[in-house]
Protein backbone atom coordinates (compact mmCIF):
# COMPACT_ATOMS: atom_id res chain seq x y z
CA UNK A 1 0.00 0.00 0.00
CA UNK A 2 1.52 3.27 -1.13
CA UNK A 3 1.41 6.08 1.43
CA UNK A 4 2.37 9.73 1.05
CA UNK A 5 3.08 12.18 3.83
CA UNK A 6 3.62 15.92 3.49
CA UNK A 7 5.86 17.83 5.87
CA UNK A 8 6.97 21.42 6.24
CA UNK A 9 6.24 24.69 8.02
CA UNK A 10 2.61 25.57 8.53
CA UNK A 11 3.30 29.30 8.60
CA UNK A 12 5.31 31.27 6.05
CA UNK A 13 5.84 35.02 5.95
CA UNK A 14 4.89 37.01 2.87
CA UNK A 15 7.66 37.29 0.26
CA UNK A 16 9.43 34.25 1.68
CA UNK A 17 9.72 30.76 0.21
CA UNK A 18 7.32 27.95 0.98
CA UNK A 19 9.07 24.57 1.19
CA UNK A 20 7.34 21.23 1.50
CA UNK A 21 8.50 17.63 1.28
CA UNK A 22 6.50 14.53 0.47
CA UNK A 23 7.77 11.20 1.74
CA UNK A 24 6.58 8.12 -0.08
CA UNK A 25 6.38 4.67 1.51
CA UNK A 26 5.20 1.33 0.23
CA UNK A 27 6.80 1.70 -3.17
CA UNK A 28 10.00 2.85 -4.84
CA UNK A 29 9.98 6.18 -6.63
CA UNK A 30 12.91 5.10 -8.79
CA UNK A 31 10.85 2.40 -10.50
CA UNK A 32 9.77 4.98 -13.04
CA UNK A 33 6.12 4.01 -13.02
CA UNK A 34 4.68 7.26 -11.72
CA UNK A 35 4.67 11.00 -11.95
CA UNK A 36 4.59 12.72 -8.55
CA UNK A 37 2.43 15.80 -8.15
CA UNK A 38 1.64 18.68 -5.85
CA UNK A 39 -1.95 19.89 -5.70
CA UNK A 40 -3.40 22.63 -3.53
CA UNK A 41 -6.80 23.68 -2.32
CA UNK A 42 -7.58 27.19 -1.19
CA UNK A 43 -9.87 27.53 1.86
CA UNK A 44 -13.37 26.68 0.74
CA UNK A 45 -12.15 26.33 -2.84
CA UNK A 46 -11.47 23.80 -5.52
CA UNK A 47 -8.38 21.83 -6.46
CA UNK A 48 -5.44 23.37 -8.32
CA UNK A 49 -2.68 21.25 -9.80
CA UNK A 50 0.71 22.84 -9.07
CA UNK A 51 3.10 20.61 -10.98
CA UNK A 52 4.77 17.22 -11.16
CA UNK A 53 8.15 15.58 -11.22
CA UNK A 54 9.31 12.28 -12.66
CA UNK A 55 11.93 10.00 -11.11
CA UNK A 56 14.41 11.26 -13.70
CA UNK A 57 13.98 14.79 -12.40
CA UNK A 58 11.99 16.10 -15.35
CA UNK A 59 9.27 18.49 -14.32
CA UNK A 60 6.17 20.22 -15.60
CA UNK A 61 4.79 23.21 -13.76
CA UNK A 62 1.42 24.87 -13.93
CA UNK A 63 2.02 27.95 -16.11
CA UNK A 64 0.25 30.10 -13.53
CA UNK A 65 2.96 29.32 -10.94
CA UNK A 66 5.93 28.46 -13.12
CA UNK A 67 7.97 31.59 -12.45
CA UNK A 68 7.96 30.96 -8.68
CA UNK A 69 8.11 27.19 -8.58
CA UNK A 70 10.83 24.56 -8.23
CA UNK A 71 10.49 20.85 -7.59
CA UNK A 72 13.11 18.28 -6.81
CA UNK A 73 13.27 14.57 -6.16
CA UNK A 74 15.52 12.32 -4.10
CA UNK A 75 14.82 8.73 -5.04
CA UNK A 76 17.33 7.44 -2.50
CA UNK A 77 15.16 8.91 0.26
CA UNK A 78 11.91 8.23 -1.59
CA UNK A 79 10.84 11.83 -1.32
CA UNK A 80 10.11 14.83 -3.50
CA UNK A 81 9.91 18.49 -2.66
CA UNK A 82 8.23 21.74 -3.56
CA UNK A 83 9.60 25.25 -3.28
CA UNK A 84 7.34 28.21 -4.02
CA UNK A 85 9.00 31.59 -3.79
CA UNK A 86 7.70 35.11 -3.15
CA UNK A 87 4.55 33.85 -1.47
CA UNK A 88 1.54 36.03 -0.74
CA UNK A 89 -1.70 35.48 1.14
CA UNK A 90 -3.08 34.01 -2.08
CA UNK A 91 -0.78 31.01 -1.54
CA UNK A 92 -2.50 30.12 1.71
CA UNK A 93 -3.93 26.67 1.04
CA UNK A 94 -4.05 23.01 1.92
CA UNK A 95 -1.20 21.41 0.01
CA UNK A 96 -1.40 17.77 -1.09
CA UNK A 97 1.15 15.51 -2.68
CA UNK A 98 -0.23 12.79 -4.91
CA UNK A 99 0.82 9.93 -7.14
CA UNK A 100 -0.07 10.18 -10.79
CA UNK A 101 0.19 7.52 -13.45
CA UNK A 102 2.71 6.54 -16.04
CA UNK A 103 1.93 9.41 -18.39
CA UNK A 104 2.29 13.15 -17.74
CA UNK A 105 -1.46 13.75 -17.64
CA UNK A 106 -3.17 11.14 -15.53
CA UNK A 107 -5.42 10.64 -12.60
CA UNK A 108 -4.21 10.53 -8.97
CA UNK A 109 -4.69 7.30 -7.09
CA UNK A 110 -2.81 7.97 -3.85
CA UNK A 111 -2.77 11.23 -1.90
CA UNK A 112 -1.13 12.52 1.22
CA UNK A 113 -3.39 13.77 4.00
CA UNK A 114 -2.52 17.36 3.17
CA UNK A 115 -0.73 20.08 5.06
CA UNK A 116 -2.16 23.53 5.68
CA UNK A 117 0.18 26.38 4.84
CA UNK A 118 -0.75 29.87 5.97
CA UNK A 119 1.02 32.91 4.57
CA UNK A 120 0.96 35.65 7.17
CA UNK A 121 3.31 38.02 8.92
Applying CB under 8 A, the residues found at the interface with another protein are 46-49, 51-52, 60, 62-63, 96, 98, 100-101, 104-109, 111-114
Q: CB-wise, 18 or 100, nearer to another protein? A: 100
Question: b/e per residue, 21-55, with b = 16+ CB within 10 A?
Answer: bbbbeebebeeeebbbbbbbeeeeeeeebbbbbbb
User: Considering the complex, what minimum distance in angstroms separates the CB of residue 86 from another protein?
Assistant: 20
Contact 114, 95 (CB under 8 A): yes
- Pick between residue 15 and residue 33 the one whose CB is nearest to another protein: 33
In terms of CB distance, is 10 or 76 closer to another protein?
10
* Shortest Å, Cβ 19 to another protein: 20
Bridge partners, residue 67, by sequence: none
Amino acid sequence: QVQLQESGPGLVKPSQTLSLTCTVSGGSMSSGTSYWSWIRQHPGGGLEWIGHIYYSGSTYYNPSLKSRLAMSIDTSKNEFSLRLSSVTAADTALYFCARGGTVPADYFDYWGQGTLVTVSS
